[in-house]
Each structure stands twice: as C-alpha cells, then as structure tokens.
Amino acid sequence: MVLTKKNSISNPADNRNYGIDLLRLFAMFMVVILHTLGHGGVLNAATDEKSKLVWIFEIGAYCAVNCYAMISGYVSYSNKEKPYKYSKFVTMWLQVVFYSFGITVLWNYLGKVVVDANVIKNSLLPVSTSHYWYFSAYAGLFFMIPWINRFVRNISKNDMTRFVVVVFLVFSCYSNYCITKYGDVFKLGNGYTFVWLIIMYLIGAWLKKCEIPKKTKAVSAIVTLIICMTVTCLLKFFSLENKDFFVSYISPTVILMAICYVILFSKMKFNRFFNAIIKFFAPATFGVYLIHEQRLIRASCISNRFTWIADLSLKEIPVAIIGCVLLIFITCLVIEKIRMGIFSLLRINKMVEFVVFKLETGLKRLWLKIYRDKN
C-alpha cells in the first residue's frame, strides 16, 4: 500500500476510490494467473511438490472473479438514487463484439483457422452463445442493478448485514457442503452464473452501505486473508475425500478472501502520480479478459502452451508464472488502450449514448401514454 503525505494526496473533491480501481487491475491479473495455470496446462502437468507450489498460486488467485463482481456492487451502489445509464451495456456489448468478431475475422484472414458462417454468427451474438461466460452472466445482472440498489437502499444497515449473513450461510456454506454429497441444490453452477454475480454484487453493495472497510482494521483483513488461504491450501493438499471442497467460487474461504481484498484496497491512498496511472489503466481491465479469453486466442495461444513451466525447478516456477502472466496482462492492456483510443477518436461511445438516450425517451413517452390510457 502506498501511503502519501497530505500535501501530495489528490484533490479531496475527487471522490474516486483509486484503491478499488487498483483492485480491478489486481483482480484481472489474478484472472490471468487462473487461466495461465488452468487453460495453460500447468496444473495438470505439475507433480509432487511442484504441484503444491502451483496450486498455492491458483488458490491465491481464485477469489479474482468474486473480487471483480464485488467491485461492481461496491462502485455502483449509492445511498442516493442516480440515473442508470443503459448505454453502458451497449458500449460494453460493442467492446465484446469488437474482440469476439474482430479476432475471428483476423484469425481467418491470417489463415490460422478456417471460420465458417456459424462461427462468425456466434461471435456476433456473445450473450446468446456465451462466448464469454462472465459477460453473459453480467448481462443478466446489469438489467437488475437499479432494482437491487433500490432494495439495498430501502433497508436498514442492520437488516442488510443480517441479509448478507443469511445469504453467505445458505448459498456459500450450506451449498458448498451439499455439492459434495447431493449436488448443486441451488443451481449456482459453482459460481459461473448470473445468480452468483448477483450475490457477489449484493455483498459489494453491503460493504459500501454499511461502511465495512472503515470499520475493519487492515491487520484484521490481512490475518483473515492469510487464514482463509491457508485453510483452503491445507484442505486441497491433505483432504482424504474431496480435495477441491473449498477450491470454488462459492467456497466460504474464497468469498472471505475477496471481501478482505476489497477492504484492504479500499483503504489505500496514493499520490497524484499513481492516481493518474491507475485511472489511465483501470478502465482497460475488462479488455484484458476479452482478449486472452477469446476462444480462438485461448485455443491457439493459451491452451496447454505453458506446460513447460512444470518442468522448471521450484525456484524458477514462481518467476516463470509471474513473468508469463505479466506478459499476457500488459500485452492485452496495451491492445485494449489502443482500442479505447480508436473508439474515442470515432466518438462511438458518444453516439451510443445519444442513440440510447433517444430510445429511452421514446419508450418513456410510450409508457406514459399507455399508463394514461389505462387510467
């Protein structure tokens, strides 16, 4: 954490939480770790002590998706109702199609793969075809956010805390236990569903509404984080039954790790220079996911391409993992910043806002007309 002198901290009028923005970057970095080790084949290739070392990295990064979803709740919730911009979804959809369709066309042009009409059609329908599972799940969450925020806003802090505790006990603790014996009783799909993103969003909103980061000491969050990671690793390495019992998005320890990260990063303060860097790169994090998880990119550049890491020595493995992840992360980050620059130059986002605003205005008028006619 970078702490600065009072005279170097950014303008107090700037309410932006740069620690949370930094968590966006860190969470996406952890997502790349998960994909490099998982899709890259390192987890399957590593054996004995090397396997344990690799799994420590995997478990340490497993809360990444929960962190990212909690950030949405933490940032999007406010005590006062604000206009909800549906243009954000259209802008995000265009961003997704830019990569799903654009890379498909590029790969076909370069001769890396022969693309048929069905593949092209699927790349143009990212939500319907679940080209990216997270975006499809987020699409379900996005249109419910105004109503979720209203629910959180209209209940007391004590009720919200009790609600989150019940949700945690039922949908994490109990559900995680049931999976090993009775299956996925609540159909949470191990966290790969929009229902799970809603739950994580609610926890993020609770953290904001009840000011949990302000009430929690950093040392308490750090100790809890270490304990949760240690427990998860011990269960993974020494459990005689289900070794992946707690290695899941819905795992209690993984959720608590994500909560601790939100608490810790929200407390961070930086000087103007670091704020500017964070503000510049944080909006590009989602693009990192879209690029390296594009199906053709994953198949040709990620899948089983990193099994060689398992052949290195114990001392070399951490360096190789961090080095490869950094290379992927920075490359994708730069590409996304270029894409954002192109969209800004062409004023695409402004055009989307204008078109969506006109549609919303027309729909509101139509709704009022129907409502008046009925009454």
The string of pLDDT tens digits covering residues 88-110 is 899 999 999 999 999 999 888 88
Closest CA to 210 of 345, 69, 79: 79
Tell me the average pLDDT across 20-25.
Answer: 96
Using alpha carbons, list the distances in angstroms from residue 4 to 9, 12, 276. 6, 14, 15
Strand (E) or helix (H) holding 49: helix 48-61
pLDDT at 242: 66
Task: Report d(CA 7, CA 179) in Å as an integer.
Answer: 53
pLDDT at 362: 80
Q: How confident is the model at residue 240 (pLDDT cuts 50, 70, 90)?
A: low
Output the average pLDDT for the chain.
90
Give the number of other Cβ atoms within 10 Å of residue 166's Cβ.
Answer: 10
Does residue 8 have a pLDDT over 50?
Answer: no
Give the number of other Cβ atoms within 10 Å of residue 367's Cβ.
Answer: 10
Compute the 3-state secondary structure of the chain and give helix, strand, coil in percent, each to the nearest 5: 75, 0, 25
Does residue 350 have a pLDDT over 90?
Answer: no
Does residue 9 have a pLDDT over 50?
Answer: no
Find where tokens 């076909």 sit. Answer: 108
Task: Report d(CA 358, CA 90) in Å as an integer.
Answer: 14
pLDDT at 3: 43
pLDDT at 7: 40
Q: What is the pTM of this model?
A: 0.91
Both structure tokens of 242: 């289900």
Task: Report d(CA 67, CA 23) in Å as an integer.
Answer: 8
What are the DSSP E strand ranges found in 180-266?
none
Rg (CA), the chain: 22
Closest CA to 235 of 244, 224, 226: 244
Closest CA to 289 of 21, 23, 26, 29: 29
Tell me the average pLDDT across 159-172.
Answer: 96
The separation between the first and the last C-alpha atoms of the chain, rounded to the nearest angstrom, is 59
Does residue 1 have a pLDDT over 70?
Answer: no
Tell me the average pLDDT across 145-172.
Answer: 96
Does residue 38 have a pLDDT over 90?
Answer: yes
pLDDT in tens, 68-94: 999 999 999 999 888 888 888 999 999
Residue 58's contacts (CB-CB under 8 Å, 6 or more residues apart) are 33, 34, 37, 38, 43, 247
pLDDT at 180: 78
Does residue 5 have a pLDDT over 50?
Answer: no
Using alpha carbons, list the distances in angstroms from residue 308 to 39, 45, 218, 303, 305. 13, 8, 38, 12, 8
Q: Are 328 and 305 in contact (CB under 8 A)?
A: no
Does residue 129 have a pLDDT over 60?
Answer: yes
Tell me the average pLDDT across 47-62.
Answer: 95
Does residue 117 have a pLDDT over 90?
Answer: no
